[in-house]
Chain A
Amino acid sequence: MASGVAAWLPFARAAAIGWMPVANCPMPIAPRDHSKRKDELIILNVSGRRFQTWRTTLERYPDTLLGSSEKEFFYNEEAKEYFFDRDPDAFRSVLNFYRTGKLHYPRYECISAYDEELAFFGIIPEIIGDCCYEEYKDRKRENAERLMDDQEENKDAKLPNMTFRETMWRAFENPHTSTMALVFYYVTGFFIAISVITNVVETVPCGYKSQKDVPCGERYTVAFFCMDTACVMIFTVEYLLRLFAAPSRYRFMRSVMSIIDVVAILPYYIGLVMTDNEDVSGAFVTLRVFRVFRIFKFSRHSQGLRILGYTLKSCASELGFLLFSLTMAIIIFATVMFYAEKGSSSSKFTSIPASFWYTIVTMTTLGYGDMVPKTIAGKIFGSICSLSGVLVIALPVPVIVSNFSRIYHQNQRADKRRAQKKARLARIRIAKKGSTTAYLQTKRNGLLNELLDLTASEVEQQHLNKTSSLLESQHHHLLHCLEKTTGHEFVDEQLFEQNCLEGALQPYRSHSRTPSASSQDGPTGTCCSRRSKRGSTPVPNASQPHMLTHTLPQSPGLQELSAINIQCAEQQLHGSSRSNLNMQTNEVDRRNTRQQQQQVTTAIISVQTPSTGSSASDEDHDHGLGLPSVVTTASSNVIKVSAL
């Protein structure tokens, strides 16, 4: 709970009087404040510098070192103060956290020293306020990267037991690991270069044949074919080896580099298959274009290329916007030019799409001159077009370039912050859940407390009460009063969903055992039913059509048995015997199950040893607090976090 909450708890509890007239059930007893300690000043001596604060200030966060009884370990009897052998400068921000509820990260402080101080005093860094959180995270990340850089140099050491496959994969990924890998790396690089050069040279005209320029490819067909074959064989072997060595073949086949590999070597094989058919040779020629993709194989060899590709990919939105605005301008000017030139004869501006070409050429200041406006209006607009082209293209480019780096980094930071925020909120939610599960856990403990109230002595009672702070118990009492007011109880989320599921799955169980109070009974049927069972006859209500109504037989033996079984039923709520609870198909809620539960378990389940263990608890049901459903899940963790 936050600092303010502790101060306002008395007010919240007082305001609970507003629920009293509305409540149907009596309220639980308030926790007694056994030791009414007066607020006193505490002296904290941190390496010689004395800090003083109220005791209640420290107790705002009971799950930190200073707020809990852990500080007693540091108590110095002679000087009547608490002595901590820590850095006093860092302690300032720790103490300010208690005072103001906000944790700040001082910039002059070393990040790891600060972390250690926080860990010592039991404060989680996630609650650093928004003003300082980003700085803290940045410094932490820098630090982590620095440490990681030191570690990465040792990463290349060869692990002793790697399979042949793993060695090969490592060789492919890091060519510097072994000489074989390096040789392979250079060989493939060489062949990529050869292949690209071959493709280029193939089209150069060399020599004449029947008064026509003939490209070298057609003159030296065999040589080029051999070269191509050799390259493709190397590439195929490489691809197959990579495929074999890949740890996840499916993922490898989906990766960009492997697709490039496939596209690079496919035309050759397709060409092999269909050399003789004249019709498809045209298509075959087109396929040869894809051989240029081999140049992209260089990106495995060049880090810079990879970064460029990544940058373009990440700035795609900015480029897209540039393209969009250019398109808009082009369309506008093309339209204007078309209508301006419409009147003139022999105009090249035959249609608006035809004018696109003119607009693009003019705006990029190329000015080929194949399309020229002839009318005066056309010339005017043509000049406006070229002027605006200069502005539209030349001006934003540096702005966009600088925007690239700014937006790029900002995006990264925003994504980081969003990811952090999700994680932070998740952690805070866990902490909140911690406080709610704490309440549910304490309810179970409360059972023990209430029962021991009667039977045990003062000493044991105090011993039990010490387990949770007074603040906690008061807060839980408040929540308990709310439960009593509404007649419903807080349950765990999982349990709630399981209940709903149960409701859907188990419609018609054991119709012979029936509820005596059904859904119409409403709030009075749940909490007060226990009371009514003991004394008066409960009201028989009309229930859903497929359930019979019985009144509860009022034999005292059954009462007691059912009383005990209340406890059992609660236990079994998170046990395996939920199937015994009656449910209607169409309704998911289970307001009538309280009574049914008790009925049902009498017959079916053997009485498990209730945790409370005493049927003398019957007398205590006066307050109707009786036995709220002990719905904590098995994994109840009472680790409360001071985030709130």
Chain B
Amino acid sequence: MEREEGEGELDGLHTLAIVLLLFAALKLLYLLGLMDTEDKNDDDLEMTMVIHRPEGLDQLEAQTNFNKKELQVLYRGFKNECPSGVVNEDTFKQIYSQFFPHGDASTYAHYLFNAFDSEHNGSIKFEDFVTALSILLRGSTREKLQWTFNLYDINRDGYINKEEMMDIVRAIYDMMGKYTYPALRTDTPRQHVDAFFQKMDKNKDGVVTLDEFILSCQEDENIMRSLQLFENVI
């Protein structure tokens, strides 16, 4: 009998020890878990406010093909939308998407952003903006075509290959949205790209270089004509 009771008490103590150990472990974990969560709140407050001011009006007038008044109008609009003086990619995508409510303009806006962002630092300053606009609106045909080539050449290696073109064309088609007439098929972009390469790739080596591009575009009068289309935009 005594042994039984002794064993029983030993058993009870055994369980007691195990359970208390468990509780202690849990409590430690709990404490640790709790203590971790307090540090996360402070980092959110540090938002880097980068303010950028453009160079003087005279300098910009010298560098671009705009006159002072036009630069003033452009800057007012720019500053209104981006008070900090730089456009980051998200804002850019938002702005560009507002023009194309039917479809999804974010992919094309991304490529456009890269084309504008001459320093590739993820933000467009007013100078970048105005320089690109100057080329597009007031530049020579060769400059415009060069700019367009840079737009298409996503990885900046000097060649446009089919994949890059596919990305661009698909991005353009994305802007159309779903409700089009005639309805978009999945291979429409591919056919478009094939037609493009047919025209542009002179030596049929699978890539389009800058010279091939410029040459082919100059041969096509439609393209030449449409390049002059936006001359009176500002």
Contact = CB atoms under 8 A, between A and B. Distances in A.
Contact of A488 (B182, B195, B222): B182
B181 A491 contact: yes
A436 B98 contact: no
Q: Dominant SS at the B interface?
A: helix
Interface stretch (B27-35, B57-65, B169-177): B169-177
Contacts of A115: none
A534 interface: no
Interface stretch (A243-251, A355-363, A474-482, A601-609): A474-482
Interface string B6-20: 011101110110010
B159 interface: no
Contacts of B168: 22
A8 interface: yes
Contacts of A400: none
Contacts, number: 209
B45 interface: no
B112 interface: yes
Interface residues of B, number: 69
Nearest to A488: B180
Contacts of A519: 185
A487 B80 CA distance: 35
B137 A12 contact: no
B101 A432 contact: yes
B111 to A, nearest CB: 8
A14 B133 contact: yes
Interface string A17-30: 11111111111011
Interface stretch (B36-44, B47-55, B224-232): B224-232
B230 A499 contact: no
A486 B172 contact: yes
Interface string B95-132: 11011111000000000100100000000000001001
A586 to B, nearest CB: 12
A15 B101 CA distance: 17
Given A21-B148, A343-B8, A496-B178, A8 B183 contact: no
Contact of A629 (B181, B222, B233, B234): B181
Interface stretch (A205-213, A277-285, A305-313, A371-379): A371-379
Nearest to B186: A589
Contact of B184 (A9, A39, A488, A631): A488
B112 A486 contact: no
Interface in A363-420: 375-378, 380-381
Nearest to B165: A22
A69 B114 CA distance: 40
A8 B181 contact: no
B232 A30 contact: yes
B16 A16 contact: no
User: Which of under 10, 10 to 19, 20 to 34, or 35 or more describes the interface residues of A?
Assistant: 35 or more
A522 B185 CA distance: 9
Most chain A CB atoms below 10 A, which of B102, B213, B232: B102
Contacts of A26: 222, 225-226
A13 B233 contact: yes
Interface in B164-218: 168-169, 172-173, 175-185, 188, 191-192, 195-196, 200, 213, 217
Interface stretch (A154-162, A252-260, A590-598): A590-598
A482 B172 contact: yes
B68 interface: no
B158 interface: no
A24 B222 CA distance: 9
Interface of B: 7-9, 11-13, 15-16, 19, 73-74, 76-78, 80-81, 95-96, 98-102, 112, 115, 129, 132-133, 136-137, 144-145, 147-148, 151-152, 168-169, 172-173, 175-185, 188, 191-192, 195-196, 200, 213, 217, 222-223, 225-227, 229-230, 232-234
Given A21-B196, A483-B176, 4 more contacts: A14-B233, A490-B102, A490-B181, A499-B183
19 contacts: A1-B98, A4-B81, A7-B76, A12-B99, A18-B115, A18-B148, A21-B200, A21-B213, A26-B222, A27-B225, A27-B226, A33-B232, A340-B16, A486-B180, A489-B181, A490-B176, A490-B180, A522-B195, A593-B182
Interface of A: 1-27, 29-30, 32-33, 39, 54, 99, 336, 339-340, 342-344, 375-378, 380-381, 432, 435-436, 474-475, 478-479, 481-483, 485-493, 495-496, 499-500, 519, 522-524, 526, 588-594, 629, 631, 644
